[in-house]
Structure 1
């Protein structure tokens, strides 16, 4: 599913005119918020329940370059849901649907005041599992 869209601005580029790593990470971070909202997490819970997400692992592969003015989008999916953790995969595509970067991310559901992991709410786990099932069905139809 598409979770983020953006454009590379001059202030987001390095001395060689390419988007810097910090803005790839920012795009992936914003995509993650849209992904978890789509599976049932309510961002208001940060305030009403003191619950949110802590990213604990990023494994990023850079596949191509984005230059100033390039439009890009991030597509995301859930790869695994545990008791208190969620694994996701995000792909950032540039012009011509060319893969520019991808990240495998592990995020932990987190109590913001106690600073510890807590179980993912049932409604969010159910949404993640439903997305996993939908992705598996698409993969089965696509075949090898």
Structure 2
């Protein structure tokens, strides 16, 4: 794993009736990590706007391992698991930054889209090359 793609705090208003961070906030924090990971791969907001491209999640699986409480500091680290011509699969690990314990993991498959055509489209070579450097195990499918 590399440098964090998200850092934040659990606020009291993000907790449910039993005092744990509510699942909707896990999803939101993982989403913020998505955009930081994408930017590292060259899929920056300016690239997406100027190229007419976009990213669309097609599958997301979250595993909850430890509760997070109000005041906990969170770090998410992300890694690319698989790169295909038009899609990417990656994993986020959310940890309690104080204890180092993994609180949740999220595995996502996302598709690179042509927004005008509303269809998937291949990644540009420079993005593919950058993503390959972030692969957990360099395997090209």
Please say whether Structure 1 and Structure 2 have the same fold, judged by a TM-score greater than 0.5. Answer: yes
- 1:39-63 Cα offsets, whole Å, 9 max, x none, are 2222112321221110111111100
What CA RMSD, in Å, does the superposition of the two structures yield over aligned residues? 1.4
Q: How does 1:24-63 map to 2 (within 5 A)?
A: 24-63=26-65
Structure number with higher helix proportion: 1
Q: How does 1:104-115 map to 2 (within 5 A)?
A: 104-115=107-118
- Give 1:98's aligned residue: 101
Instruction: Say if 2:81 and 2:137, in contact at 8 Å, map to a contact too.
Output: no
Instruction: Say if 2:66 and 2:103, in contact at 8 Å, map to a contact too.
Output: yes
**How far apart are residue 81 of structure 1 and its match?**
0.4
- Partner of 1:97, secondary structure, is coil
TM-score (norm 1): 0.88
The gaps in structure 1 that reach 5 residues or longer are: 138-144
TM-score (norm 2): 0.90
Instruction: Say if 1:45 and 1:52, in contact at 8 Å, map to a contact too.
Output: no
Q: Distance in 1 between matches of 2:5 and 2:62?
A: 17
Instruction: Say if 1:39 and 1:128, in contact at 8 Å, map to a contact too.
Output: yes
- Give 2:128's aligned residue: 125
Q: How does 1:9-20 map to 2 (within 5 A)?
A: 9-20=11-22
Shift >6 Å, 4+ stretches: none
Instruction: Say if 2:88 and 2:109, in contact at 8 Å, map to a contact too.
Output: yes
Instruction: Say if 1:46 and 1:112, in contact at 8 Å, map to a contact too.
Output: no
